[in-house]
């Protein structure tokens, strides 16, 4: 039985670790999205091609929405795994 408990704990810790790693990677992606938006601001200041700017804005927005979804998923999974520890049987 002790071996089973150790296995369960190890699996839960691995799951938490995986989602924390994803969380960190997503933070890096947010930095990239911020850089893209800062570049966009410069492009707007230079009054570039409106079609290119529209594509750029749509791409940046899509990336941020995707990251928001990824963050929500990571947070939910981390909460779930931590609650399993709290309610461990």
pLDDT digits (tens, 9 = 90+) for 13-52: 888 888 888 888 888 888 887 887 778 777 776 766 667 7
The domain locations on the chain are 2-86
Q: What is the pLDDT of residue 51?
A: 72
Give pLDDT tens digits for 43-72: 776 766 667 777 777 887 888 888 888 888
Q: What percent of the chain has pLDDT over 70?
A: 91
pTM for this model (two decimals): 0.56
The Cα 16–Cα 87 span in angstroms is 16
Q: What is the pLDDT of residue 88?
A: 66
* Distance set, CA 39 to CA 35, 67, 85 (Å): 6, 19, 44
The residues near 82 (Cβ < 8 Å, ≥ 6 apart) are 16
Residue with tokens 């947070």: 75
């Amino acid at each position: 039985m002790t071996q089973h408990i150790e296995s369960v704990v190890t699996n839960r810790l691995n799951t938490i670790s995986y989602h924390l790693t994803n969380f960190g990677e997503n933070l890096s992606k947010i930095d990239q999205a911020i850089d893209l938006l800062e570049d966009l601001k410069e492009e707007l200041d230079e009054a570039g091609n409106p079609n290119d700017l529209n594509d750029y804005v749509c791409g940046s927005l899509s990336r941020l929405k995707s990251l928001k979804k990824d963050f929500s998923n990571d947070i939910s999974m981390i909460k779930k795994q931590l609650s399993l520890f709290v309610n461990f049987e």
